[in-house]
């Protein structure tokens, strides 16, 4: 068993690798230009916000969880709980750890760079001894730092102090929370949580734990054909319009919804329907996957409108609906989902402006 593998025993013991018995993590650090060991600080919103300070030592990431984060201010001596070594594959992980898994939450790469021991020449021995003097060359963190072991908590975890020494990089009052963005992508934890590009499956071996998430491209939609538009123009004030395979029962087609302005022609319901059919390919990417509330003006914009949430009973069967299973009594239960040009036309006929 290699030393790095041995050191990751703790990491593995806290996670379920039942999927496969492959050893998780290995001393296969990605190549780097200058040969200096790397460090990373990840801002991790799990049950509690903390910063994970990780130093590359002999093929693993030796790690401390720092609730208040590292600072350039020598006066800020921060609690740093020594936690289990992490596999090197975690070095540049940014994304989401599923809820319910160990460390569930979101992670950004808050800082990274290289580090160098400034006292002694054996990082492993210095950590064993509980006193680490080192320099960081990161994008946010620079200069001379110290990690000193102080105590153990009830669970046996080692409590250390992390602080910056006075040097030319020291900055009074420097607060990590004032610099929240990722050095990898420029994103905040909120932005990563809202649209993660990777998932860390801590129940898998490290080499397979990072799962890329690629957002599926939205579908695309067709504009109306010229004969379809001609058929719309040929309808009397009401009738059935066959549009992209759907039968739409249209009413009050010559009703003016927007009165004439600046010498122009008024906009009738027929005009509005034609317009919705034409802009559907551009609008649907924003609508197709979300339930909507419609703001209806059945008698035109000169008369008061009203919000209409519940899908009416006369809606066509093909209109997609979303049911709110958590609706309280009296609350709207079924919302329309406008996911096709005919659905958008149906909303126009319904007076949804
Ligand atoms: Mn963490």
Is the CB of residue 115 less than 8 Å from the CB of residue 136? yes
Over residues 158-180, the pLDDT tens digits come to 999 999 999 999 999 999 999 99
What's the gap in Å between 50 CA and the centre of ligand 1? Answer: 6
Q: What digits encode the pLDDT tens for the residues 72-97?
A: 999 999 999 999 999 999 999 999 99
Give 149 Cα–ligand 1 centroid separation in angstroms.
Answer: 19
- Residue 98 alpha carbon to ligand 1 centre in Å: 13
The answer to whether the Cα torsion of 245, 247, 251, 254 is positive or negative is: positive
The per-residue pLDDT for 7 is 74
Distance CA 233, CA 227 (A): 10
Question: In 3-state terms, what secondary structure has residue 188?
Answer: coil
- CA gap 235, 71 in Å, rounded: 72
Confidence at residue 2, expressed as pLDDT on a 0 to 100 scale: 65
Mean of per-residue pLDDT scores for the chain: 89
198-202, 261-265, 342-346 — which one is most confidently predicted on average? 342-346
Report the separation in Å between the CA atom of 43 and the middle of ligand 1, taken as the mean of its atom positions. Answer: 8
Phi and psi torsions of 343, nearest 5°:
-65, -40
182 pLDDT exceeds 70?
A: yes
Give pLDDT tens digits for 138-155.
Answer: 999 999 999 999 988 888
248-255 contacts at long range (C-beta below 8 A, 24 or more positions apart): 248/316, 248/342, 248/345, 248/346, 248/349, 249/349, 250/349, 251/349, 255/299, 255/300
Residue 148 CA to ligand 1 center (angstroms) comes to 20
Please report which confidence band the pLDDT of residue 206 belongs to, taking 50, 70 and 90 as the band edges: confident
Better-predicted residue by pLDDT, 133 or 152: 133
Alpha helices for the chain (secondary structure H): 3-7, 9-13, 123-129, 189-194, 206-209, 226-234, 269-287, 341-349
Would you say residue 216 has pLDDT above 70?
A: no
Q: What angle do CA 121, 124, 166 make, to 5 degrees?
A: 60
Q: What is the pLDDT of residue 17?
A: 53
Distance from Cα 52 to the centre of ligand 1, integer Å: 5
Amino acid 337: pLDDT: 94
pTM recorded for the entire structure: 0.59
Q: Would the CA dihedral through 192, 195, 198, 203 be positive or negative?
A: positive
Do strands 239-243 and 306-308 pair parallel, antiparallel, or not at all (unpaired)?
A: unpaired
Separation CA 303–CA 195 (nearest Å): 41
- CA of residue 41 to ligand 1 center, whole Å: 10
Q: Mention every residue, 6+ apart, whose C-beta is less than 8 A from residue 65.
A: 44, 50, 51, 52, 53, 80, 81, 83
Query: How far does the centroid of ligand 1 lie from the alpha carbon of residue 24, in Å?
Result: 18
Does residue 279 have a pLDDT over 80?
yes
Q: Is 7 helix (H, G, I), strand (E, B) or coil?
A: helix
Is 157 or 153 the better-scoring residue by pLDDT? 157
What is the signed CA dihedral for 68, 73, 74, 77, rounded to 10 degrees? -10
Ligand 1 centre and the CA of 353: distance in Å? 48
In tens, the pLDDT along 281-296 reads 999 988 988 899 999 9
| Interatomic CA distance for residues 111 and 287, integer angstroms | 37
Q: How far is the CA of 46 from the centre of ligand 1 (A)?
A: 7
Q: Tell me the CA–centroid distance for residue 51 and ligand 1, in Å.
A: 7
Q: Which of the four pLDDT bands, split at 50, 70 and 90, describes residue 197?
A: confident
pLDDT at 21: 33
95, 192 in Cβ contact below 8 A? yes
The DSSP call for residue 244 is: T
């Amino acid at each position: 068993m290699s030393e790095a593998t041995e050191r990751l025993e703790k990491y593995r013991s806290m996670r379920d690798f039942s999927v496969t018995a492959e050893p998780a993590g290995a001393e296969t650090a990605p190549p780097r230009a200058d040969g200096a060991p790397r460090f990373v600080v990840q801002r991790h919103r799990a049950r509690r916000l903390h910063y994970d300070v990780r130093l590359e030592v002999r093929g693993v990431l030796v790690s401390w969880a720092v609730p208040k984060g590292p600072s350039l201010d020598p006066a800020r001596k921060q609690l740093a709980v020594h936690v289990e070594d992490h596999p090197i594959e975690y070095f540049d992980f940014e994304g989401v750890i599923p809820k319910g898994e160990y460390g569930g939450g979101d992670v950004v790469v808050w800082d990274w760079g290289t580090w160098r021991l400034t006292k002694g020449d054996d990082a492993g021995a210095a950590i064993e001894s509980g006193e680490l003097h080192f320099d960081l060359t990161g994008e946010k963190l620079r200069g001379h730092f110290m990690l000193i072991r102080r105590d153990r908590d009830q669970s046996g975890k080692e409590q250390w102090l992390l602080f910056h020494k006075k040097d030319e990089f020291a900055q009074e009052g420097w607060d990590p929370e004032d610099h929240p963005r990722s050095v990898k992508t420029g994103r905040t934890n909120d932005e990563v949580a809202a649209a993660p590009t990777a998932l860390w499956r801590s129940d898998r071996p490290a080499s397979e734990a990072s799962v890329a998430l690629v957002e599926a491209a939205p579908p695309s939609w067709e504009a109306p054909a010229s004969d379809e538009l001609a058929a719309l123009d040929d309808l009397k004030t009401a009738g059935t319009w066959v549009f992209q395979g759907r039968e739409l029962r249209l009413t009050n087609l010559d009703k003016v919804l927007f009165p004439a302005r600046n010498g122009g022609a008024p906009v009738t319901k027929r005009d509005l329907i034609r317009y919705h059919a034409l802009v559907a390919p551009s609008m649907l990417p924003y609508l197709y996957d979300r339930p909507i509330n419609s703001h209806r003006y059945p008698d035109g914009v000169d008369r008061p409108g009203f919000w209409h949430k519940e899908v009416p009973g006369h809606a066509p069967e093909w209109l997609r609906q979303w049911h709110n299973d958590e609706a309280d009594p009296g609350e709207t239960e079924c919302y329309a989902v406008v996911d096709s040009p005919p659905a958008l036309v149906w909303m126009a006929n319904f007076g949804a402006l």
